[in-house]
Structure 1
Amino acid sequence: MKKNNTRIIPLSLAFALPLCAMQNASAAITLYDGDNTLFTTDGYINAFYVHNDVDRPGDQFDRRQARVKMGFLPNYLGFNMKRDVGDLTLGARSSFWVTINDSEVNGTGTAIDVRQFYGTVGGGFGEVLIGKDFGLFARSNILRDELLAGYGQASDTLGLMDGTGVSFGNIGTGYPYPFPSSQITWRSPAMGGMNIAVGIFDPYDTTEVGGTGKAYQDAPRFESEVSYQMDLGGATIYAWVNGAYQTSKNTDSSVDDVSSRGVGYGLQMKVADLSLTASGFDAKGIHPLFSNNLGQANLQEIDSDGYLVQGAYQFGKARLALSYGRTDDDGLVLGSAAEYEHKAVMLSYAVNDYLNLVSNVSRFEMDDKAAGELESTDTLAVGATVSW
């Protein structure tokens, strides 16, 4: 396969932050409630002691590195508004995401990143969201990940171990990250357990950028998700399918058009204290780590796919989760076919509704399908999360 000459960017510097899905809405603090208007705030803070043991070809990169870092989820502060106006319900959310690790190189210049800034209009027709929010493709894949409040994989090759951003959980080892993007999305009203979301998104340049031509898109990016939840014989079952499609062209006729398309899917079953989850994705012309085109790589119509299987059991206030994820990439990241594998065990303990103690042990492996093993990194992370 022809090598992709795009430089591997330090992914942690991209600050690709996961979703804040595990927060319970009832934990939000009410700031105002009156005149048919509700205004609340919610937040999340976490930090881990992390010890990484890296093994890469040769001796120049092999090392043991200690860090104090945030985990798969960053720290954030969110504000929410809801107002009833006649037959309509108006809403809004803005969330500010913060890294605690950029002081290592930037003094006190802590980065604040806005991942959500949107309004909603709801009624009998469902709800329409306008603004910036996470994507629909691979959305439930990451939302249902048992490692969401943990640490997960921190590849040295991908720049995560020494970086200033988050770890990657199972991004790149089971699903791509559904990057926040400007969008107009409709969500259906409740339909007996079924929910539908369809949206148009700001498209991405996926053809060659620069040179004599200009990348362009003559249609938006389309994303959607259909989910269904039901109770069956004492079990709660949640299933989903999501997808994305867009085309990108170039005014230079020698540059090929790129059609980007992907589908994600999954099933989660909960019986008493046991939870089992299986999910996967299949994509072409979409980065296997991100749903957008971070760094403006020449994506081409290259295949990637992956899956994630997990089991978890609740012991009173303690929760034990086992996780295995894998992604196969035909050449978008390294320029040659590669596979990424992540095995993890997470044990958490809920001290109360707001404080959790978390420990996470994992192994990340990266293999070039022709050249062999490129990296094996063992990670131990022990920390705590505070949410409201």
Structure 2
Amino acid sequence: MLCTPAAQAVEFEAGDWKIDVGGFINAYYTYTDCGDEPVGGLALAGQALGCGGQDARSTIGNGLLPNALVTKFSTEQSGYDIGGTIAIMAHTATSSAIAPNSGVDVRQAFFTVGNADIGTFKLGRDYGVFGANAILTDMTLLGVGAPIQATQRGRVTLGHIGAGYSYLGHYGQMAWTSPAFGGGNVTLAVMSPVDNGGTHDSGSAPQLQAQYAWSGEGFKVWIGGKQQKFESTIDGMDDFTMSGAELGASLTAGRFSALANVQSGKGLGILSDGDQLDTKSSNWLVQGTFAATEKLKLGANYGISRNRDETPATGGLESNANATVGGYYQLTPGVTLALELGQTRSEAFDGTTVEMNGASFGGIIFF
């Protein structure tokens, strides 16, 4: 995820070790205009989240990616390929002109050991497996997507998180990816379990994630799942188990690329695992992009996250949806400029809807 375009990292050797130092920085001007209809819960298009508590708002901050300094290392020892990554990340926008911008986000700090016979074992902190292909293939990864102001100030925008797919998350983990067979491979991961942010703790059992991915001739397909038990911290409130399944595919044919991804489960949440308790939900995302020239890519995508049952934890929210159209211009091999227009729509179970219109432009540099 951290090297989506071809980054020009500084590379040097120290004994048998090869070390790469690189990263990325981005900034986008975003403007949002929100309606005032009362849709509850985690309504991304409402004034509270979409416009940060106002009717309209502008921010110059990060897009879907933060800023990052990334160090990678690799070597070969005793017949094993060894590698690792440490990524230190920070955000651009704050709501203060004088307060220190000292928030540090270490999403990745892991090492890997493996070879062609046994596959690869990963130990440490990294992104989750469930949902990774959707966000990696989302065109707004290099842009903004849903320009949610409540998250852009002090962190990042959401892309299609909560409006097309659940966030892949960051976990302490032990994972194994099998050797390639039949054009694909299997990844099995044991994740450090997480709390849901208020009413339930993680308990004693780990979170489990798995995926099978197959690719060939411009086509890729994947299927995956995840599961974790949450234990109540409040008397009279039941425990619940989060469980989800995912199916997706991407296709590249000449200048055209397409993506479709579907997730379904219980307890997947809007912004994080279990944040709506055991609510049943589904997410889906569709996308098409076209390389108009060697430097310019045009694209459009649409995603929706829908709660399938009305529980108290939803706050009355039935769905969040986002549609985005964008243009992405590769000014240089390391610099991409982006312009996006989009609309985010939230709907309550009683039929009330609220819309947020947004626009963004800016750029990202990989080095």
Fold-level similarity (TM above 0.5): yes
Q: How far apart are the structure 1 equivalents of 2:271 and 2:284?
A: 13
Residue aligning to 1:171: 161
Letter of the 2:240 partner, please give it: V
Q: How does 1:86-235 map to 2 (within 5 A)?
A: 86-102=78-94, 104=96, 107-123=99-115, 124-155=117-148, 159-160=150-151, 163-205=153-195, 209=199, 215=201, 217-231=203-217
Shift in CA distance, 323/21, structure 1 to aligned 2, threshold 3 Å: farther
Deviations 1:200-259 (A, max 9, x none): 11112459748xxxx55342111011110012xxxx101111210122335888442211
Residue aligning to 1:378: 357
2:2 counterpart of 1:20? yes
Q: Is the 8 A contact 1:56 1:62 kept in 2?
A: no
Question: Residue 27 of structure 1 aligns to a residue in which SS?
Answer: coil
Residue aligning to 1:71: 63
User: CA offset at residue 146 of structure 1?
Assistant: 1.3
Deviations 1:64-89 (A, max 9, x none): 32221211111111000101111112
Q: How far apart are the structure 2 equivalents of 1:167 and 1:245?
A: 26
Q: How far apart are the structure 1 equivalents of 2:85 and 2:107?
A: 10
Residue aligning to 1:328: 306
Shift in CA distance, 42/107, structure 1 to aligned 2, threshold 3 Å: same
Residue aligning to 2:345: 365
Q: How far apart are the structure 2 equivalents of 1:192 and 1:242?
A: 18
Tell me the percent identity.
23
Deviations 1:107-155 (A, max 9, x none): 2333111000011111220110000000111111111111110111134
2:15 counterpart of 1:35? yes
Letter of the 1:140 partner, please give it: N
Letter of the 1:342 partner, please give it: N
- After the TM superposition, which segments of 4 or more aligned residues of structure 1 sit over 6 Å from their partners? 58-62
Question: Residue 147 of structure 1 aligns to a residue in which SS?
Answer: helix
Deviates more, 1:96-105 or 1:330-339: 330-339
Shift in CA distance, 254/334, structure 1 to aligned 2, threshold 3 Å: closer
TM-score (norm 1): 0.84
Q: How far apart are the structure 2 equivalents of 1:217 and 1:67?
A: 39
Q: How far apart are the structure 2 equivalents of 1:109 and 1:337?
A: 33
Unaligned 5+ segments in structure 1 are: 1-18
Residue aligning to 2:43: none
How many residues are paired up?
351
Q: How far apart are the structure 2 equivalents of 1:68 and 1:252?
A: 40
Residue aligning to 1:11: none
Residue aligning to 2:219: 237
Deviations 1:348-386 (A, max 9, x none): 11111101111011100111121511x311111110111
Q: Is the 8 A contact 1:173 1:342 kept in 2?
A: yes
Q: Is the 8 A contact 1:362 1:379 kept in 2?
A: yes
User: CA offset at residue 314 of structure 1?
Assistant: 0.5
Deviations 1:82-111 (A, max 9, x none): 011111121111001110113626623331
Shift in CA distance, 62/218, structure 1 to aligned 2, threshold 3 Å: closer
Q: Is the 8 A contact 1:95 1:115 kept in 2?
A: yes
Q: Is the 8 A contact 2:110 2:124 kept in 1?
A: yes
Question: Residue 139 of structure 2 aligns to a residue in which SS?
Answer: coil
Q: Is the 8 A contact 1:72 1:166 kept in 2?
A: yes
Two-structure CA RMSD over aligned residues (Å): 2.4
User: CA offset at residue 192 of structure 1?
Assistant: 3.9
Q: Is the 8 A contact 2:342 2:358 kept in 1?
A: yes
Q: How far apart are the structure 2 equivalents of 1:361 and 1:207?
A: 32
Question: Residue 345 of structure 1 aligns to a residue in which SS?
Answer: strand
Letter of the 1:79 partner, please give it: T
Letter of the 2:239 partner, please give it: D
Q: How far apart are the structure 2 equivalents of 1:311 and 1:101?
A: 30
TM-score (norm 2): 0.88
Letter of the 1:339 partner, please give it: S
Residue aligning to 1:287: 269
Deviates more, 1:99-108 or 1:184-193: 99-108
